[in-house]
Structure 1
Amino acid sequence: MLDSNTTDFSNPSTFILLGIPGLEVAHVWISIPFCTMYIIAILGNFTILFIVKREPSLHGPMFYFLCMLTISDLVLSTATQPKLLSIFWFNSREISFSACLTQMYFVHCFSGMGSGTLMSMAFDRYMAICHPLGYSTTLTNSVVTTIGLAVVLRSGILALPYPFLARRWPYCRTSIIPHFHCRHIAVVKLACTDISISSYYGLFDLFSVIGMGMFFISVSYIQILWAIFRLPTKDAQLKTFGTFISHLCAILAFYIPHLFFSLMFWFGRNVPLHFLVLTASVCDLVPPVLHSIIYEVSTKQTWGRLLQLFTHKET
């Protein structure tokens, strides 16, 4: 008789998510900071959407891209964190095969959408600082819409192979995923066949999303900094630098955690599994939290409108 953990099944009905393996005893305590950060991310990003919708002066390219980033952050965090908290609080570890594939698609799709949106925001700042006279004529509503659709289509298409590849493999080892959500590589590692195609595509997508994004953003910001340093006075340099510092912080908040996790995952062979999974969970949640804080505090239009709303309510 075959062992239950190695019974042959092409498409399992359910998977079992372990949460953070090795730290099960501390799950309740770990849930406190994660729940707090998730609430901050939800409230902060919805506040940004509300302010941009209510304030006509914010209806411009920069804030349209900001809304796209906010939506991608909301969907990305909501695709993973509720399940993580249900594992921590209620030991609800089961996830159906179709739900697992759906979660996998949303995670990869909106992670790519966030990267593409940051590229668009870098282009917006490049035009505003390096070519201010052509900003309004170049970034028209139709151009912004086209860029937005291109970002959505690119991320959606690049994420499609993940669930299709995961569905085609036969699973005969175990249905236990040592993770808190259905990350593609964590799922396909359970397959009892050669998964080289999945591994190669994962690397291709990593370089397409993270690598290409970092390259184009770096080129844009090098030119922006070069334009700032050529300004005649220090006051003009500081004022111009202040107009894109929030974007720089948002980019660092997104790419540094993802790059750190990717490098650690591919090259950190001796890294403990619980540390790897814990780092992945932080990488998924920290950018949405930091983005909401960065843009609410450092962008004077949103900060001013937020203060105005609270002041108006008090009076």
Structure 2
Amino acid sequence: MQETLFCLSVGHLLPFTMSDFNSTDFTNPSNLILLGIPGLEAAHVWISIPFCTMYTIAILGNFTILFIVKREPSLHLPMYYFLCMLAVTDLVLSTSILPKMLSIFWFNSREINFSACLTQMYFILSFSAMESGILVAMAFDRYVAICEPLRHSTTLKNPVVAKIGLAVVLRGVILILPYPFLVRRLPYCRTNIIPHTYCEHIALVKLACTDIHISSYYSLSVAFLVISLDVFFIAVSYTQILRAIFSLPTKDARLKTFGTCGSHLCVILASYIPHLFSALMQRFGHNVALHLCVLIDNVYLLVPPILNPIIYGVRTQQIRDRLLQPFTHKGT
């Protein structure tokens, strides 16, 4: 889960509370203030350039994947249906973050309604959980395709793929649903300033002036449940896949079969390595500068939506050929 801003401790919040304004008592603030990247306000315009570029690449790349799969009948297969689900998830995830972030950088538009903040938080967390679930579904598809190739077309029929997609969506929706309700019920009396570019869960609950253990424990439980289970199922799938690959008679056959998993493995690494890095920051990064923590949080969320369409576009021959087809025809 995207429990980012692990570096943010209460000590980080105190300078903003004490220096920017006096504490006032309010149960639920009508508006919150997103600072952007604390300490780097003067460089916000320059920082916006790479983030705007990242957003543009994510939008174009994922829409291109959706367009190619829709237009090419040979790609109407479970693997590419799951890829389309991943593309939609990436589009929603990046769009939940970037527009508001860029408005902060470009127009100094830091105010956000409390309900809008909770909605943004919910979308980020739920679609992050969905993305992880889709990676598990894609691992299952690779398992059936390699370990049970004769049963692939009968096991993963379109209705089955639709049910898997629905299960992934419902899991993300239901597990994350308590988050906004737990946050809304908290009383706030410290500040309405969030030292971040988006409504990050931990940063938001730390503004409360009461015990936050229920919200924190639920957050950790969901994060552990989702990530640990998903990684476990992916690991089991690839253990079986590797056993099947190593049982093949020739080296060429082993390499060719393993190559069909290359794109998925790259996407898994792009998704889970940043999560591991953030977990390490949570454990050992308490003395890291706040602006660096915020930058890491943003990169953590925004890199996968950029890399996923690039990885599949470069490594998957069917998508690559369809993408290059207009240029190839011009050259002939």
Do both share a fold (TM > 0.5)?
yes
Letter in 2 for 1:69: L
The within-5 A match list for 1:133-212 is 133-212=150-229
State the shift of 1:4 in Å.
5.4
Structure 2 length normalisation: TM-score? 0.91
**Contact 1:210–1:259 (CA<8 Å) still a contact in 2?**
no
The within-5 A match list for 1:54-73 is 54-73=71-90
Q: Secondary structure at the match of 2:32?
A: strand
State the shift of 1:312 in Å.
4.7
Letter in 2 for 1:232: P
| CA distance, structure 2, for counterparts of residue 309 and residue 59 of structure 1 | 21
Letter in 1 for 2:280: L
Partner of 2:274: 257
Q: Are 1:285 and 2:302 an aligned pair?
A: yes
The within-5 A match list for 1:228-243 is 228-243=245-260
Unaligned runs of 5+ in 1: none
State the shift of 1:262 in Å.
3.0
After superposition, the Cα gap between the structure-2 partners of 1:199 and 1:267, relative to the gap in structure 1 and judged at 3 Å, is: farther
Letter in 2 for 1:90: F
State the shift of 1:6 in Å.
1.7
State the shift of 1:266 in Å.
4.7
| CA distance, structure 2, for counterparts of residue 81 and residue 254 of structure 1 | 18
Structure 1 length normalisation: TM-score? 0.96
Letter in 2 for 1:47: T
| CA distance, structure 1, for counterparts of residue 37 and residue 112 of structure 2 | 16
If asked which structure has higher relative contact order (CA below 8 Å, sep 6+), I would say 2
Question: Which of residues 130, 136, 145 is equivalent to 1:119?
Answer: 136
Partner of 1:12: 29
Question: Which of residues 101, 105, 112 is equivalent to 1:95?
Answer: 112
Letter in 1 for 2:218: Y
State the shift of 1:205 in Å.
1.5
Residue by residue over 1:107-135, the C-alpha shift from the partner in whole angstroms, topping out at 9 and shown as x without a partner, is 00100010000000000001101111111
After superposition, the Cα gap between the structure-2 partners of 1:259 and 1:193, relative to the gap in structure 1 and judged at 3 Å, is: same
Unaligned runs of 5+ in 2: 1-19
Letter in 2 for 1:56: P
- Mean Cα displacement is larger for which, 146-155 or 225-234? 225-234
Residue by residue over 1:25-82, the C-alpha shift from the partner in whole angstroms, topping out at 9 and shown as x without a partner, is 2212211111111111110000000000101111111011000100000000000011
Question: Which of residues 305, 312, 317 is equivalent to 1:300?
Answer: 317
Q: Secondary structure at the match of 1:6?
A: coil
Letter in 1 for 2:171: R
| CA distance, structure 1, for counterparts of residue 23 and residue 330 of structure 2 | 62
| CA distance, structure 2, for counterparts of residue 4 and residue 37 of structure 1 | 35
- Mean Cα displacement is larger for which, 145-154 or 214-223? 214-223
What is the RMSD computed on CA atoms of the aligned residues? 1.4
| CA distance, structure 2, for counterparts of residue 200 and residue 124 of structure 1 | 33
| CA distance, structure 2, for counterparts of residue 226 and residue 5 of structure 1 | 63
State the shift of 1:313 in Å.
6.8
Q: Secondary structure at the match of 2:112?
A: strand
- Mean Cα displacement is larger for which, 248-257 or 22-31? 22-31
Runs of 4+ in 1 over 3 A off after TM superposition: 309-315
| CA distance, structure 1, for counterparts of residue 326 and residue 237 of structure 2 | 35
**Contact 1:265–1:276 (CA<8 Å) still a contact in 2?**
no
**Contact 1:171–1:191 (CA<8 Å) still a contact in 2?**
yes
| CA distance, structure 2, for counterparts of residue 216 and residue 120 of structure 1 | 9
State the shift of 1:265 in Å.
2.6
